[in-house]
Amino acid sequence: MAVSVDALPARIRHRFPIFDRLVYINSCSQGALSDAVRDAYARYLDDWDEHGAPWEYWVEQLDAARRSVAGLVNAAEDEVAVTTSVSAGVSALASGLGFDGGRDKVVVSDSEFPTIGQIWHAQERRGARVVHVPAEADGTIPLERFDAAIDEETALVAITHVCFRNGVRLDVAGVIELAHERGALVLLDAYQSVGSLPVDVRALDCDFLAAGVLKYLLGSAGLGFFYCRRDLVERIEPTATGWFADRNIFEMDIHDYSPATTARRFEAGTPPIPAIYAGIAGIELMQEIGIEETEAHVRELNALLIAGVDELGARVVTPRVPEQRGALVCVASTDVDRLVAALAEGGVVTSSRDDNLRISAHCYNTAEDVSAVLEVLARNRSLLRLD
C-alpha cells in the first residue's frame, strides 16, 4: 500500500538542521545529525565537567546502551556486547573460534564490506579456509550459490544484510536455513540495514549479528554492537579481549583470563563513552520516529527515484524488486567522482562506491529531495552510464 511521502518528514525533519542548507541523502554513509544527538554530546560534557571521573555512572551508560540495542534487535541484554565497531566484535568472535574437527571452512559472500573479508582471511593463518560466494553480473547472489558453497566442513557463513556497493539485499532467511541444516553458524552484518528496516534476531534465527549506529540509527562514529545467541556465548572464548570483557571489570585481576559469562566477553577495553551517549539518543529517536514507517516511506521515495533515473535513460544498479534491496539505490556512472562533486555543487550530499553513485534516503527525506537529485543528474547526463 502506498504511503504519503510528505507525512513522515513533515513530523520530524525540523530535528535535523542540515536540511536548512543542504539536501542530505547519504544515510548509507552517515545519518544526519539530529538535535537529540547534539544534546547527548552536551550531556556527556556536562557530566564530565560536573563529576570529573564518574566511572560508575559511565558503566551505567554502557549498560543503558546494551538495553537499547537489545530492545532494538529483540535480543536479551546478556546476548549483546557493546563495541567500538563491527571490526572489534567480529575480531573477538574470530579469535575464539577453532578451525579443526573437520570444520575449517568459512563461507563469505562477495557482497561483504572489506572488514568482514579481511578478518576471515586473517584466520587463514590459524587454519581457516575461506571460500567466496560470487555474485551475478547484476550484483545479486542466488541462493543456489550458497547451497553449493556450504557443506559439512563449514564452520561459519558470513553474510551482509544489504550490500554497501549496490544496495542488494541478500536472502538472509534462506542462507541461514541452509547453513543450519549443515551444522554451520551464521554471522550477519546488519550495518547497512538496521534502522532502515526492522531487524529481529529471533525472527532471522542468526547466530551472531554485528552492526553500528553511524548510519540509519542516527548515532555517531565509534559505537558498534555485537549479538551472540545465548547458548553459544560460553562455547566461544575470545583471545582478542580487554578488561571490560572480564567477569568483574573492577576486580582488576592481572593473573588470569576469566571472561564474562555473557556476551560482554566480546567487548574489549575502555568503552567509547561519548559515542554511547550519542548512540542511545540516536536509537531512541529512531524508535520514536518508527522503523517500519521509515521503511515504507523510503520505499516510496526510491520508487520515485528509480522512475526518474529511468526517464533519463540511465542504469539503476540496485534491484527493481523492493524486497531485494535496502534503503540504498545505486546508479552507474562514467565518472562517479565528478558526478558526486556535481551533486555537491548543487547542494546535494551523496557518495559513491566502485563506479556507482549511492543515493540513500531516510526518514527525513522528501519527494523534493529526490527531485533535487534528479535535476542535477539531468544536467550531468553525460556522467551517467546509459542503458
Cα gap 130→254, rounded to integer Å: 35
Q: At what angle do helices 114-122 and 86-96 cross, to 10 degrees?
A: 20
Topology annotation, domain 7-33+290-383: Aspartate Aminotransferase, domain 1 (3.90.1150)
Residue 11, pLDDT above cutoff 60:
yes
Cα gap 14→246, rounded to integer Å: 43
Residue appearing with cell numbers 549483546: 80
Domain spans of the chain? 7-33+290-383, 38-286
Residue 5, pLDDT above cutoff 50:
yes
CA torsion through residues 143, 145, 149, 155, sign: negative
Residue 55, pLDDT above cutoff 90:
no
Provide the pLDDT confidence category of residue 3 given band limits of 50, 70 and 90: low
CATH number of 38-286: 3.40.640.10
The pLDDT, as a whole number, for residue 251 is: 87
Output the nine-digit C-alpha cell for 35: 538535535
Percent of the chain whose predicted confidence (pLDDT) is above 70: 99
Q: How many residues does the chain have?
A: 387
Residue 157, pLDDT above cutoff 50:
yes
Cα gap 48→19, rounded to integer Å: 31
Pairing of strands 129-133, 105-109: parallel
Q: Over the stretch 124-145, which tens digit does the pLDDT of each residue have?
A: 999 999 999 999 999 999 999 9
Average pLDDT value over all residues in the chain: 96
Provide the pLDDT confidence category of residue 1 given band limits of 50, 70 and 90: very low
Region 47-76: what's the mean pLDDT? 91
Nearest to 211 by CA among 79, 73, 353: 73
CA torsion through residues 40, 45, 47, 48, sign: positive
Residue appearing with cell numbers 520530524: 12
Residue appearing with cell numbers 556507482: 356
Cα gap 317→321, rounded to integer Å: 12
Region 276-286: what's the mean pLDDT? 98
Name residue 188's amino acid: L
Shared fold status for 7-33+290-383 and 38-286: no
- 169 three-class SS: strand
Contact 197, 169 (CB under 8 A): no
Contact 33, 17 (CB under 8 A): yes
Nearest to 87 by CA among 118, 53, 125, 132: 118
Cα gap 318→38, rounded to integer Å: 33
3-state secondary structure 246-302: ECCCCCCCCCCCCECCCHHHHCCCCCCHHHHHHHHHHHHHHHHHCHHHHHHHHHHHH
pTM value is: 0.95
Output the nine-digit C-alpha cell for 201: 534476531
DSSP 14: G
Contact 123, 100 (CB under 8 A): no
Residue 357, pLDDT above cutoff 90:
yes
